Amino acid sequence: DGGITQSPKYLFRKEGQNVTLSCEQNLNHDAMYWYRQDPGQGLRLIYYSQIVNDFQKGDIAEGYSVSREKKESFPLTVTSAQKNPTAFYLCASSITGQGAGDTQYFGPGTRLTVL
Amino acid sequence: DQQVKQNSPSLSVQEGRISILNCDYTNSMFDYFLWYKKYPAEGPTFLISISSIKDKNEDGRFTVFLNKSAKHLSLHIVPSQPGDSAVYFCAATYRNSGNTPLVFGKGTRLSVIA
């Protein structure tokens, strides 16, 4: 089955701790994205990567970090510097990131709660 | 500054009737538009898209209309079904941007009442 997987579905962490959210895709897509969803805020872009070993900041990158060492993996680390980390995190991928109306496909999401 | 706006946070429609979800954009460079549907605690799923060279695109019960002069698009669902109850996101981008991901609106929650 081709698709995007995110793990875990629910994640709890103590304030001041870093935590890494996993995102894997077997669609052979070049581009991958991380979004955050808060109630009434829609989807806000955190980071995106159009090719392995390269990534760009989105609208709300502060307090987050990413890596793209493999085409199929794009993990997101929520650091202790992120002031309001409790949210629903969504990973997506697209065939390319070069515009041309590239449709993004989303994973099931990870709900992060900071205690 | 929001480039993609969905001004109605919610919409209620009777089963069998038409649902019309609206979206406005401010960036005249946008030339490709998409609609996504999202259930609670799940990722959005792609519904339908439209290029700026068209003014209408249809897929089964779903039709998207684009009015470029008004910078407005709408999603029509006919007939509406209870399973259509979800949050709908409008998104936009422009071709040959090289570096521009999709820009999403804040979403409209559709409730289809049986």
Over range B79-108, report the average pLDDT: 88
The answer to whether A8 faces chain B, any CB pair under 8 Å, is no
pLDDT of residue A100: 47
Has residue A2 got a pLDDT over 80?
A: no
Contact A42 B104 (CB under 8 A): yes
Mean residue pLDDT of chain A comes to 90
- Which residues from B are below 8 Å from A35, CB to CB? 104
3-state secondary structure of A18: coil
Please give the C-alpha separations between residue A85 and each of A31, A90, A98, in angstroms, as whole numbers: 24, 13, 30
Has residue B66 got a pLDDT over 90?
A: yes
The answer to whether A58 faces chain B, any CB pair under 8 Å, is yes
The answer to whether B98 faces chain A, any CB pair under 8 Å, is yes
pLDDT of residue A97: 61
The residues facing B52 across adjacent strands are none
pLDDT of residue A39: 81
The minimum CA-CA distance between B36 and chain A, rounded to whole Å, is 10
Burial level of B50, CB count in 10 A (0-12/13-18/19+)?
Answer: buried
The CATH number that applies at residue B19 is 2.60.40.10
Query: pLDDT tens digits, residue range A28-81?
Result: 999 999 999 998 788 999 999 989 999 999 999 999 999 999 999 999 999 988
The minimum CA-CA distance between A22 and chain B, rounded to whole Å, is 15
Contacts of A48 (CB under 8 A, 6+ apart): A31, A32, A33, A34, A55, A56, A58, A97, B101
pLDDT of residue B99: 59
pLDDT of residue B47: 96
Residues spanned by the domain of B44: 4-113
Mean residue pLDDT of chain B comes to 93
What is the interface size between A and B, counted as CB pairs within 8 Å?
69
- Domain count of the fold of chain B: 1
Query: pLDDT tens digits, residue range B8-50?
Result: 999 999 999 999 999 999 999 898 999 999 998 899 999 999 9
3-state secondary structure of B107: coil
